[in-house]
């Protein structure tokens, strides 16, 4: 099974592609927002802690986010493979995930980066906001979220690019075509639904792509 991350700006269709890939690879799609909401709903000790932080308008700290993700990845369905959406978001979280997986003799296989033209995404989100009557979702607010995403994720993308794990994919166009691009990008690194190529093959694939 595969251990994948998916990254992309708000409005790039990450959730849709994550669900498709999870079904294709037979792994759970795990979004940090869902983890937070589930723990809050079930009133777990960590969930109550998250709720108090969110209610106060503060950011959930890395230590708490890491613990929630660790608990989720230790559930039976995620032991051998997963697709993470929204995590890691900081360099400390990148390090934590790497160390946690290494302790299990595992590592991230690939990081899918959905690349989308900023103006196209802003236009798409603004149109959706108008259609849904979300008058407070202004173009300024949408652009701000795009800026925050770029500022927060650029260092992470650089880390994974240096590791040879980044799979950039054009995230605009027909949904099926985007899925096909992702699958082709993963296959070029020896990652298929039938299993991940051994480390030597994967390394060779990465080396060839970089040449």
In angstroms, the CA 160 to CA 94 distance is 9
Q: Is 104 a catalytic residue?
A: no
Q: Which of the residues 3, 14, 72, 189 is marked catalytic?
A: 14
Name the residue among 127, 129, 111 with its Cα closest to residue 119.
127
Locate 98 and state its tokens: 């790497």
Listed in sequence order, the DSSP H helices in 74-138 are 91-103, 118-131
Q: Which of the residues 51, 95, 143, 145 is marked catalytic?
A: 145
Locate 37 and state its tokens: 């909401």
Cα→Cα distances 122→16, 148, 172, Å: 18, 14, 13
Locate 12 and state its tokens: 């790039």
Q: Is 145 a catalytic residue?
A: yes
Q: Which of the residues 89, 124, 143, 163 is marked catalytic?
A: 89
Long-range pairs for 104-108: beta carbons < 8 A, 24 or more residues apart: 104/79, 106/3, 107/3, 108/3, 108/4, 108/5, 108/160, 108/165
Instruction: Give Dmax (Cα) for the chain.
Output: 53
Locate 113 and state its tokens: 């980066």
Q: Is 143 a catalytic residue?
A: no
Q: Which of the residues 104, 118, 127, 134 is marked catalytic?
A: 134
In angstroms, the CA 67 to CA 119 distance is 36
* Positions marked catalytic: 14, 89, 128, 134, 145
């Amino acid at each position: 099974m595969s251990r994948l991350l998916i990254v992309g700006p708000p409005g790039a269709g990450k959730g849709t592609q994550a669900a498709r890939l999870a079904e294709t690879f037979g792994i759970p799609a795990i979004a940090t927002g869902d983890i937070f909401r589930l723990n809050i709903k079930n009133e777990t000790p960590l969930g109550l802690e998250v709720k108090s932080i969110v209610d106060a308008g503060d950011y959930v700290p890395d230590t708490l986010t890491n613990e929630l993700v660790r608990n989720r990845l230790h559930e039976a369905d995620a032991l051998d493979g997963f697709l993470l959406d929204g995590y890691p978001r900081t360099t400390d979280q990148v390090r934590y995930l790497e160390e946690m997986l290494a302790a299990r003799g595992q590592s991230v296989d690939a990081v899918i980066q959905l690349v989308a033209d900023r103006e196209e995404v802003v236009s798409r989100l603004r149109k959706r906001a108008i259609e849904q009557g979300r008058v407070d979702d202004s173009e300024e607010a949408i652009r701000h979220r795009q800026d925050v995403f770029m500022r927060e994720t650029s260092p992470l993308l650089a880390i994974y690019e240096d590791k040879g794990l980044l799979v950039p994919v054009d995230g605009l166009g027909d949904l099926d075509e985007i899925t096909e691009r992702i699958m082709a990008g993963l296959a070029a690194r020896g990652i298929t639904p039938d299993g991940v190529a051994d480390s030597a093959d994967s390394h060779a694939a990465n080396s060839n792509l970089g040449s």
